[in-house]
Amino acid sequence: MAQYAARRNLQLVTAADFNAKLRERGCPKVATVQKICRLARDEDEVRRALDYVWSDSEDAARILEKLREGNEDLYRFEKMLETNKSVSDKNVNVNQIKLKQVLINYYTTLNFNNKILKF
């Protein structure tokens, strides 16, 4: 990435560097690039939020709060997926055990007269 940037005569800015630039413009410490990326829904929203914070750095806390409020449904959905994933993981283990028991029962019913039927 650094080589590509050098060839194109571009300067890469890290999140820490960008945060330092925001502080120089008077942005409070609660507003960071990482926090904006975590709160935004997609890349376009990240860009818009960074533009707003850059142009109105003193009001950055309000912008972050609006991002948080605007995407609450997304956060609830992500939490629901995570809780369902942990429940489904437990159910998968229980279902695997039940399936093994069913297969053992089925296998033993096929065994009659000490002969095992093969499929």
For residue 115, list its beta bridge partners.
Answer: 112
Whether the Cβ atoms of residue 10 and residue 1 lie closer than 8 Å to each other: no
pLDDT tens per residue, range 20-63: 999 998 899 889 999 998 888 888 889 999 999 989 888 888 98
Torsion of CA 23, 27, 31, 37, to 10 degrees: -80
Tell whether the torsion through CA atoms of 105, 109, 110 and 111 is positive or negative: positive
What's this model's pTM, rounded to 2 decimal places?
Answer: 0.58
- Percent of the chain whose pLDDT exceeds 90: 13
Whole-Å CA distances, 72 to 13, 24, 30, 40:
30, 31, 19, 10
